[in-house]
């Protein structure tokens, strides 16, 4: 299974994301922002960082980079796509998932180990977890407050599309403690905290994050997303 | 020379922590007039000669697509002499 990891100018976490893919048993393929060729990958990860220096709005410029055109097209036809942190912001800017990410309510950049609760295990990226499982992975963001209107929030809650919620105090002001959401089909997931930094106890606070990467590999073996 | 100005503001219902921080800093400097502060973005776009209606229509599209995120922001387009 080939999983593409996109590097935009200013991306930071592409190496860790690729390492997480390899750790989970997949083949990581480096994708370049300026190359509109997906090189035959089966899934794509948009990693964290500060693509294009977060100019204009986080993810606003990256969303229009050449590599995004085939990614958006493929994801709309069911290809698994995971956006982590800045990647989540890119997904929101591309309107592949509803809502937007805004400045943390306390303004400070956060960097800490965060407990989140997995609430939807029926997506391409969360099937390795159990419903209600609490995991600890790093959270590091300046603009991680998930915002959407009341109608969208009710829809996300009603359809079980909030895939993960922060446990305990709200770290960044996200509505309803939202840490991650999915699209209607369950192939696209946006996640603010960083599972790729928590794939073994040597380099991360836990190995809990690995589940996101084993999930997507499993989704191919079991014949893809519903 | 005239320029096209696009002002982008967070929608009223979206929390603006930066505006709040500015509002909190003002009284520390002795300025007590502010009941609330909202912070936005201003784009100044230069074109050759006077902006045409067609250019303004294009700027509207660009403002919707790139300069603002309609999920959280509103914008206005105007010509400034």
Phi, psi for residue B39 in degrees, rounded to 5: -110, 140
Q: Which residues of B touch A54 (CB under 8 A)?
A: none
pLDDT classification of A226: cutoffs 50, 70, 90: very low
pLDDT at B81 over 90: no
CA-to-CA distance for B65 and A56, rounded, in angstroms? Answer: 12
For residues B27-55, average pLDDT: 95
Strands in A53-161 per DSSP E: 81-84, 100-102, 110-118, 134-141, 145-147
Sketch out chain B's domains with CATH numbers.
3-80 (3.30.1280.10)
Q: Does A102 touch chain B (CB under 8 A)?
A: yes
For residues B35-45, average pLDDT: 96
For residues A44-64, average pLDDT: 96
Nearest to A93 among B10, B21, B69 (CB): B69
Give pLDDT, residue A223.
59
Q: How far apart are the CA of A80 and the nearest CA of chain B, in angstroms?
A: 24
Q: What is the pLDDT of residues B57-70, one digit of tens each?
A: 999 999 999 999 99
What residue in A sits closest to B10 (Cα-Cα)? A102
Structural contact between residues A190 and A123, judged by C-beta atoms closer than 8 angstroms:
no
Asked if the Cβ–Cβ distance from B17 to A107 is below 8 Å, we say yes
- Contacting residues for B30 by C-beta, under 8 A, at least 6 apart: none
Q: Does A73 touch chain B (CB under 8 A)?
A: no
CA-to-CA distance for B39 and B43, rounded, in angstroms? Answer: 14
User: pTM of the entire structure?
Assistant: 0.93
Identify the residue among B12, B13, B17 best suited for mutation to test binding to A, counting A beta carbons within 10 A and taking the highest.
B17
Candidates 3.40.50.880, 3.30.930.10, 3.30.200.20, 3.30.70.2740; correct CATH number of A2-221?
3.40.50.880
For residues A64-72, average pLDDT: 98
CA-to-CA distance for A42 and A1, rounded, in angstroms? Answer: 7
What residue in B sits closest to A89 (Cα-Cα)? B69
């Amino acid at each position: 299974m080939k999983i593409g990891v996109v590097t935009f100018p200013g991306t930071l976490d592409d190496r860790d994301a690729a390492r997480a893919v390899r750790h989970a048993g997949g083949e990581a393929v480096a994708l370049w922002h300026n190359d509109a060729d997906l090189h035959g990958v089966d899934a794509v990860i948009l990693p964290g960082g500060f693509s294009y220096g977060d100019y204009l709005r986080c993810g606003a410029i990256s969303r229009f980079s050449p590599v995004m055109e085939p990614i958006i097209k493929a994801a709309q036809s069911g290809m698994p796509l995971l956006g982590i942190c800045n990647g989540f912001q890119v997904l929101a800017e591309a309107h592949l998932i509803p809502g937007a990410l805004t400045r943390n309510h306390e303004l400070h950049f956060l960097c800490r180990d965060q407990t989140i609760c997995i609430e939807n295990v029926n997506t391409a990226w969360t099937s390795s977890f159990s419903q209600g499982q609490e995991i600890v992975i790093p959270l590091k963001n300046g603009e991680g407050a998930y915002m959407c209107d009341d109608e969208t929030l009710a829809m996300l809650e009603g359809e079980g599309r909030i895939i993960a919620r922060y446990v305990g105090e709200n770290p960044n002001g996200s509505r309803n403690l939202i840490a991650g959401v999915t699209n209607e089909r369950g192939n696209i997931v946006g996640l603010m905290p960083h599972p790729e930094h928590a794939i073994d106890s040597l380099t991360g606070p836990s190995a809990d994050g690995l589940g996101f990467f084993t999930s997507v590999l499993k989704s191919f073996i079991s014949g893809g997303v519903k | 020379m005239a320029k096209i100005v696009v002002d982008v503001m967070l929608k009223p219902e979206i929390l603006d922590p930066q505006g709040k921080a500015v509002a909190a800093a003002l009284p520390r400097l002795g300025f007590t007039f502010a009941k609330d502060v909202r912070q936005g973005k201003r784009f100044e776009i230069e074109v050759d000669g006077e902006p045409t209606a067609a250019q303004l229509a294009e700027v509207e599209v660009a403002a919707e697509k790139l300069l603002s995120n309609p999920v959280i922001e509103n914008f206005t387009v105007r010509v400034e002499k």
